[in-house]
Amino acid sequence: MKQILFGLVLLVWAGLGLSACSPTTTATSAETIRIRWARDPDNLDPLLVDNPSAFEVTNLLHCSLLKGNEAQNRFVPWLAEAQPTTRPLGDSLLLVTYRLRPQATWDNGSPVLARDVAFTLKVMNCPGLPIERDQATFGFIRNIQLDAHDPRQFTLVCAGQSGDRVSISGDFSILPEYVLDPRGTLRTVPLPQLALPRFQSVAQAFARRYQALNLARHPERLPGCGAYTLTAWQPGRYLTLRRKARWWADSLPAPPPELQAFPPQLTYQVIPDATTATMALRRGEIDLYALMPAAEFARLQHASPDQTSLRFYTTNSYEFLTANFNVRRPALRDALTRQALTYLFDIPALIRATQQGAASPSAGPISPRIARYYNDSLPLPSFSPARAAALLRQARWQRQPDGSWQRQGAQATTERLQLTISYRAGEPSFETVALQFRSAALALGIPVQLHPTEQSLLSRQLRAGEYDMNIRQLAGNPFSYDFTSLLHSRGIGNGNTTGFSTPQTDRLIEAIPLATSPAEKARLLRKFQRALAYERPFSVLYFMRYRVAASRRLGVVPVMGLVPGYEASRIRLEKKPTTR
Amino acid sequence: MKRQRRSRRNWPRVLAFGWLTGVASAALLAPSSLLAPDLLHTNQPPFLPSHWLGTDPQGQDVARALVQGARTILLVSLPAAILTLLLGAGLGSIAGFWGNTRLRLTRSVGVAGAALVLSALLFAAPLLARGVVGGIGLLAAAALLGWVLHRTVWGRRPWALPADALVAGLIVLLDSVPLLILVLLVAAVQRPSAGGLVLLMALTCWTTPARLMRAATLQARGHTYVEAARVAGLSDWQLLRWHIWPVTWPVVLVRFPLTVSLLIGLETTLSFLGVGLPPDTPSWGRLLAGIRQSPTAWWLLVWPGVTLLLTILSLQYLSRRKM
């Protein structure tokens, strides 16, 4: 009996010892590049990705037909062999013809074909799936025609004949039909007829199969044709991608930058707190930290141990900080109140305090760097509590003897002007903005409560419209100007978290991508910016500069002005000098 | 000569009193309005005009934040300490005086009490968010339940409440989890309001006063004059009020400065970790947390650190002298 007991104890200890010694999924090797993320992707279903972390992963797992290239200031071929050819069809339609790269294959070795593109479009239009976001952005693709002689060639039938339509028509991840629909049940269903009752059962059966995969949490069940596969994901902690040992683009004689993938393994570590992330970088626990707070960045640049262990990069970005107003709230439903509140942000002082002066104020969501489209006749927002008070009076708010503001609302109710302002906890610049606004608002008699909130909870609150004001970053790019998901009535409940829409702005949002000449596009964009400057669904505080700090064990990091500020797949490890 | 020696021995006591009086005066005289952050002088070092003790990364004046933080201490830690002592003393008295068999209640009271405790545990997060209003609402609901049950025959039947076992079990349960982890766990689920924080700290820190009170009550209960009073026909409540509490109360009272010091430390730690009071409420812990954003700003560590240290040391010294 004693021997059995001794054996059991020995077994338990051996088990514990082995489990302690065995490598965990987070174990890092010398080849792993560790990148800091401020937030978790939350959801990696290709139909639902809606935050920068999720987009970054999706672009490493999957390929689109085209990809935005900042250096060339346009979309360039990615999975497509070349830029698409276009041909107008009647007055309003455009035929956009693509041919896929012949080398492109899925993980099972089968080629990526036009029918995969057709399948992807059907998924994006399948009733029963969460397709609202894709419908808002890609709803203009009405049909796809497969080439009878070339299985890699196809033509998209698009509504609108502008260049923007052509670019956006190639900006969605291509999904593998062999994984999601191995029996090809959707193959016989024409894209425009997918929503018809006679195909309802087929679509519903497919939607059930798709939902059962739970891709939001198990993206590994959907292998893409990108260079990486997901090997581990602990939500809120880390996510690891491993480069495919044999990726189809390796066979290209001179792969373009879009098809280069150097790091054998990428590990993203979720560290919401900026200070903790800086400490992790200094201790060598992460290799790359993008969007570092300006003060920390400047301090590390001048600290002698960090100068030798880190490299520092900055670049202008298309990402901007905004104060969003929930226009569904009675107190914020009128434009004059929103305009008034905008005058309470001291933007020059905030730029100085949070960005060390390295940011650009803007009159709207288009960067002042894009001179062609930026409406420079609009005044930059200024700090003026007196102007704010005057606008509040115009909006029928009345100052009470106790200093607060009230007005008669609908059905003879009394509305009080008091606000909550929510933002991601752990981000010092957001807190500084919130504190400055609170202080200015309080001086004017408007009570403001600060709600620093954990990111995933904050995202849920934004989607549900459970906030008054919110501080967040929004990212744009210089090649496409489709504001549908952000500000159109079709985007409400998805990307349009402010709940804002007016018939005028809806019309402008629809017209901008259809503009066929740069002059017309500029005219519409300027008009749109003017409308936004009046309506103020959000106030743009400033366009940021990306600040990237990276370990010197990495080579020169390719930084860019597009989200996330660097090209992870093109980071190389520093070559060690060989000794003889 | 003797007087001189005594005054020399008393000077730390005078200093402690003086310091605490200073903190209390600062708290009472602190301006209630918040200054606009000075965004042109963020992280400014001390001893420069306009901000003599420097500024934090948000441009808040450190001196003003220290003074207003003292008010937060007074408004949070002091009520929390009083509530902690009252709760601990109350539960300790019940456990020590009635033991496991002497407290006979009607079933209606037992069921209503159990429902109250269960509801408080199940809905802790929303209750903490609503502070005192939530607590009063819950109490009213429990009272209503008790009243309805008491109108039935079943509800009026007597039942012996094992008070000592229940309180001892609760003490063991709460003491088995480290205090900070327990408070963090609850605060992380739902950021508490100021009232909620007071309630949360009281609900987690009452065990030591309760243990002291239980022991003192057990001792006092055995005294002959208590037995004599009982024989003379005094009710349990009269016994407690006139014969037990006058003896046991000082035992808990000497614990007061220590409890305040514990709760100041806890509140500061929570603010430092960013789970305590809202960010626009000035607090020493929040000021200390500024050092994480600006590690070279030594003044964010020194001024609130010294203030906190002196306050806690003064409270601990005074409690030792009392004992």
- Higher-confidence position of A13 and B142: B142
pLDDT digits (tens, 9 = 90+) for A475-487: 988 888 889 889 9
**3-state class of B77 per DSSP?**
helix
Q: Euclidean distance between the first and final Cα of chain B, in Å?
A: 26
The pLDDT > 90 percentage for chain B reads 30
pLDDT at B321 (0 to 100): 56
Do the domain assignments include residue B305?
yes
pLDDT band at A12 (very low <50, low <70, confident <90, very high): very low
Sort A546 into a burial class: Cβ within 10 Å, 0-12 / 13-18 / 19+: buried
Domain with CATH 3.40.190.10 in chain A: 228-316+546-570
DSSP type of residue A62: -
Pick the residue of A278, A355, A424, A435 with the most B CBs within 10 A to test the interface with B by mutation: A435
Do the domain assignments include residue B160?
no
pLDDT at A576 (0 to 100): 65
Does the distance separating the beta carbons of A428 and B293 come in below 8 Å? yes
For the cut 60, the answer to whether the pLDDT of residue A136 exceeds it is: yes
**3-state class of A79 per DSSP?**
coil
Do the domain assignments include residue B121?
no
Q: What is the mean pLDDT of residues A117-128?
A: 96
Do the domain assignments include residue B219?
yes
CA distance A575 to B272: 42
pLDDT band at A25 (very low <50, low <70, confident <90, very high): very low
Do the domain assignments include residue B34?
no
Question: Which CATH entry fits the domain spanning A228-316+546-570: 3.40.1190.20, 3.40.190.10, 3.50.50.100, 3.90.1150.10?
Answer: 3.40.190.10
Pick the residue of A276, A432, A438, A448 with the most B CBs within 10 A to test the interface with B by mutation: A432
For the cut 70, the answer to whether the pLDDT of residue A236 exceeds it is: yes
pLDDT at B322 (0 to 100): 52
| Residue A454 distance to chain B (closest CA, Å) | 10
Cβ A224 vs Cβ A176: under 8 Å: yes
pLDDT digits (tens, 9 = 90+) for B28-59: 998 877 778 899 899 999 998 889 999 998 89
Domain with CATH 3.10.105.10 in chain A: 319-544
pLDDT at B122 (0 to 100): 80
For the cut 90, the answer to whether the pLDDT of residue A183 exceeds it is: yes
Q: List chain A residues with CB under 8 Å of B36.
A: 436, 439-440, 443
pLDDT band at B7 (very low <50, low <70, confident <90, very high): low
CA distance B224 to A515: 99
Q: What is the mean pLDDT of residues A245-266?
A: 95
pLDDT, averaged across chain A: 90
Does the distance separating the beta carbons of B280 and A353 come in below 8 Å? no
pLDDT at A6 (0 to 100): 46
pLDDT at B132 (0 to 100): 74
Cβ A58 vs Cβ A569: under 8 Å: no
| Residue A191 distance to chain B (closest CA, Å) | 46
Cβ atoms within 10 A of the Cβ of A200, count? 13
Q: What is the mean pLDDT of residues B240-254?
A: 88
Residue B80 lies in domain: 14-29+40-100+192-320
Inform me whether the C-beta atom of residue B59 falls under 8 Å from chain A C-beta atoms. yes
Do the domain assignments include residue B56?
yes
Domain with CATH 3.90.76.10 in chain A: 63-212
For the cut 70, the answer to whether the pLDDT of residue B2 exceeds it is: no
pLDDT digits (tens, 9 = 90+) for A312-369: 999 999 999 999 999 999 999 999 999 999 999 999 999 999 999 999 999 999 999 9
pLDDT digits (tens, 9 = 90+) for B225-244: 888 988 888 888 888 888 89
Superfamily of domain A319-544: Dipeptide-binding Protein; Domain 3 (3.10.105.10)
For the cut 60, the answer to whether the pLDDT of residue A8 exceeds it is: no
ipTM of this predicted complex? 0.73
Q: List chain A residues with CB under 8 Å of B60.
A: 435
pLDDT at A81 (0 to 100): 95
Radius of gyration of chain B (CA): 24
pLDDT band at A13 (very low <50, low <70, confident <90, very high): very low
Bridge partners, A98 (sequence order): A154
Do the domain assignments include residue B21?
yes
Do the domain assignments include residue B146?
no
pLDDT at B128 (0 to 100): 67
pLDDT band at B5 (very low <50, low <70, confident <90, very high): low
**Tokens at B184, concatenated:** 């963090």
For the cut 60, the answer to whether the pLDDT of residue A9 exceeds it is: no
- In chain B, the number of structural domains is 1
pLDDT digits (tens, 9 = 90+) for B100-145: 888 888 888 888 888 888 888 787 767 766 767 778 888 898 899 9
Q: What is the CATH number of domain A63-212?
A: 3.90.76.10
pLDDT digits (tens, 9 = 90+) for A416-450: 999 999 998 878 899 999 999 999 999 999 999 99
